[in-house]
């Protein structure tokens, strides 16, 4: 049996970040859609208040982060050079983290748009809990899709620079 | 009158022209001339530098395209079926561009470090094929965009 090669550090990081984004995203989306903050408020009023104020922000940030992380993971698979791959992924994660807030806000604004141009949250207040959870879920996925496009663009720019850096490093090593 | 919306659209269209125009010039004008005029060692030197510089230009243009494209959608104010198809094609184009410039381009750069090499020809052929596929998809996106600007409200032309 071949011994398993240790995973590069960036892959471990990306895995953990993806797990965190999915967990926070699922919890905040379910809570936002079902109005579960009421239960949290009942159990722990100070934390419930904080949760109620931030669950929407957590939902959009985790959705955008998930989209970007998926894009970076997919983009890294496109590169054959291990040095360039690791470098591109690591730098893309840092750039993505720096741009997360404005990108999440932009993606959230875009995800509200429906087919007809009407706000998809127009009738949200009147919908049933199941509808609300579904609408919030679709909203989460739409934000993640816009995050994915932005993440791919970030990775494309970084990968070009990183492949140059990897080539320069190889030349120096020679 | 120059509004923010027109400025964003102007930058968006300029980025398309730069990305598509650069690729078309390299594929249909520069490469055939280099093949006819230069000896293999000199041609390889020029080709690898062109690929690297063009990669930086095209991928930077793609970033600008995505950023201004997202703002444009916000200004248009609706996600139609045409736009959804366009967005899917944009993802395909970015993936192809990463493969073309950051993967194949980097390989070409490595392989051609010491002049012409036997494995260079298939890599260049692949690079060209991916570029052509990408160009065709970009043209489809441009066609869809014409539909979008004509369907959308305040910014519609004609």
Query: Predicted ipTM?
Result: 0.85
Q: Residue A36: what pLDDT?
A: 84
Overall number of domains in chain A: 1
Is 60 exceeded by the pLDDT of residue B157? no
Residue A153 domain-assigned (yes or no): yes
CB contact under 8 A, A156 and B103: no
A83 touches chain B (CB under 8 A): no
Mean pLDDT score, B6-18: 92
In percent, the amount of chain B with pLDDT more than 90 equals 27
CA B97 – CA A15 distance, rounded (Å): 25
Angle of the B120-151 helix axis to the B40-76 helix axis, nearest 10 = 20
Min Cα distance A135 → chain B (Å) is 16
Could you state, in order of their start, the residue ranges of all structural domains in chain B?
Answer: 4-151
Mean pLDDT score, A146-164: 90
Q: Give Cβ neighbours of residue B79 (< 8 Å, ≥ 6 apart).
A: A110, A113, A114, A115, B73
Residue A127 domain-assigned (yes or no): yes
Is 80 exceeded by the pLDDT of residue B6? yes
CB contact under 8 A, A160 and B102: yes
Express each pLDDT in A19-36 by its tens digit. 999 999 999 999 998 888
Search chain A and give the residue with CA nearest B91. A149
Residue A2 domain-assigned (yes or no): no
Q: Residue B115: what pLDDT?
A: 75
- Write the residue in A113, A150, A154 that is nearest to B78 by C-beta: A113
CA A4 – CA A125 distance, rounded (Å): 53
Q: Residue A23: what pLDDT?
A: 96
Which residues face A113 on adjacent strands?
A119
Residue A140 domain-assigned (yes or no): yes
Q: Give Cβ neighbours of residue A59 (< 8 Å, ≥ 6 apart).
A: A25, A28, A29, A32, A136, A139, A140
Range of the domain at A113: 9-173
Express each pLDDT in B67-116 by its tens digit. 999 998 888 888 888 888 999 999 999 999 999 988 888 888 888 887 77
């Amino acid at each position: 049996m071949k011994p398993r090669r240790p995973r590069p550090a960036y892959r471990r990081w990306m895995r953990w970040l993806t797990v965190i984004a999915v967990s926070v995203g699922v919890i905040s989306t379910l809570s936002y859609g079902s109005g579960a903050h009421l239960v949290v408020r009942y159990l722990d009023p100070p934390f419930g208040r904080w949760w109620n104020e931030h669950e929407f922000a957590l939902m959009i940030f985790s959705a955008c982060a998930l989209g970007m992380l998926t894009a970076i993971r997919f983009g890294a698979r496109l590169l054959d050079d291990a040095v360039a791959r690791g470098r591109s992924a690591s730098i893309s994660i840092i750039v993505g983290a720096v741009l997360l807030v404005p990108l999440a806000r932009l993606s959230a604004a875009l995800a509200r748009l429906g087919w007809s141009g009407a706000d998809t949250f127009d009738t949200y207040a009147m919908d049933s809990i199941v509808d609300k959870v579904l609408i919030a879920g679709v909203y989460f996925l739409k934000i993640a899709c816009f995050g994915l496009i932005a993440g791919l663009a970030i990775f494309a720019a970084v990968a070009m620079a990183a492949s140059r850096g990897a080539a320069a490093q190889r030349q120096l090593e020679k | 009158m120059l509004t923010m919306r027109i400025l964003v659209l102007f930058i968006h269209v300029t980025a398309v022209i730069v990305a598509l125009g650069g690729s078309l010039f390299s594929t249909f004008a520069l490469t055939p001339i280099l093949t006819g005029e230069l000896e293999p060692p000199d041609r390889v030197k020029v080709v690898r530098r062109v690929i690297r510089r063009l990669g930086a230009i095209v991928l930077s243009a793609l970033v600008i395209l995505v950023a201004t494209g997202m703002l444009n959608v916000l200004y248009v104010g609706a996600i139609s079926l045409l736009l959804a198809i366009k967005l899917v094609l944009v993802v395909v184009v970015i993936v192809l561009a990463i493969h073309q410039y950051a993967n194949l381009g980097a390989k070409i750069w490595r392989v051609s470090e010491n002049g012409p090499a036997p494995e260079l020809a298939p890599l260049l052929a692949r690079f060209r094929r991916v570029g052509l596929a990408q160009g065709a998809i970009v043209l489809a996106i441009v066609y869809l965009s014409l539909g979008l600007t004509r369907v959308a409200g305040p910014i519609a032309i004609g």
